[in-house]
Amino acid sequence: MKKVILFSIILVTIFSCNSSIDDSLDLPQYHYFSGGYVLLSDSSKIDSVKFVDCATNVSYGVKNTKISRRIKRSYLMLTSTPKQPLFVEFLGERTKDSVTNLDVIEVDSLIGFNIEGRCTEEKLIVGVYESTAANGERTILRMKSNYTYTKDLFASDGTEVKSSGVWYKSAKLELILQDDSEEKSLLYFELIPAQSSLVENGGDKPLVYKKVYL
């Protein structure tokens, strides 16, 4: 295990040097992903690698880049059997393949592999969450597997406010919602996996959203 941890630290150092993340941006340029990584073939095609995203349980191909080819070599150094799934964490983005027009993952920098890691229900973000504020307002938040969301706020006076937008993980335990309004307003959340909860960090008091069902 010490060898694996040390190897991951070395990989982080190597790939961080190649990262082009601009810390001056209001929004992170690259998003956090974790999941199962499987090398299916040695070709340069999109489907030579399968990545199963823990947050959505959706499978993606991985775009063939200089960094992704280095990750393939690292994977081969850590696996003892063909097509062995390995848990991986990285920064990247969802984009479209120019040939198939399918959603694919483009990796910017590797955080590391973990031979003991795996996707669990606690890591799955997709689902329906509910919160109730101190003033009686009730909110239903639906997190979808295509990285979009809808939000329904039921005010204490009986009115309903609907909103929608996109979501993504900015770090292992950090989540951002960006709405579809002209202002592109942002909501920041802390993930509490053990409690299947999201905590909205804003306002006078943090608001807890509890997952009610998948």
Give me the residue label for tokens 């190897």: 7
Question: Does residue 14 register a pLDDT over 50?
Answer: no
Average pLDDT along the chain? 86
Residue 121's pLDDT is 94
Q: Which residues are registered as beta bridge partners of 50? A: 38, 61
Q: By 3-state DSSP, what share of the chain in percent is helix, strand and coil, each rounded to 5? A: 15, 45, 40
Task: Retrieve residue 101's tokens.
Answer: 């027009």
Model confidence at 81, in pLDDT bands (50, 70, 90)?
confident
Average pLDDT of span 110-123: 94
Beta-strand ranges (E) seen in 9-116 are 31-39, 49-53, 59-62, 86-96, 103-114
Task: Retrieve residue 25's tokens.
Answer: 């941006």
Average pLDDT of span 85-109: 93
Average pLDDT of span 90-106: 92
Question: Does residue 2 register a pLDDT over 70?
Answer: no
Question: Which CATH fold would you assign to the domain 2-16+31-122?
Answer: OB fold (Dihydrolipoamide Acetyltransferase, E2P) (2.40.50)
Average pLDDT of span 92-116: 92
Q: Please check whether residue 147 is in contact with residue 129, taking contact to mean a CB–CB distance below 8 angstroms.
A: no
Query: Considering only the top CATH level, what class is 125-213?
Result: mainly beta
Break the chain into its structural domains and give their ranges.
2-16+31-122, 125-213
User: 38: closest CA among 27, 25, 24, 53?
Assistant: 53
Model confidence at 80, in pLDDT bands (50, 70, 90)?
confident
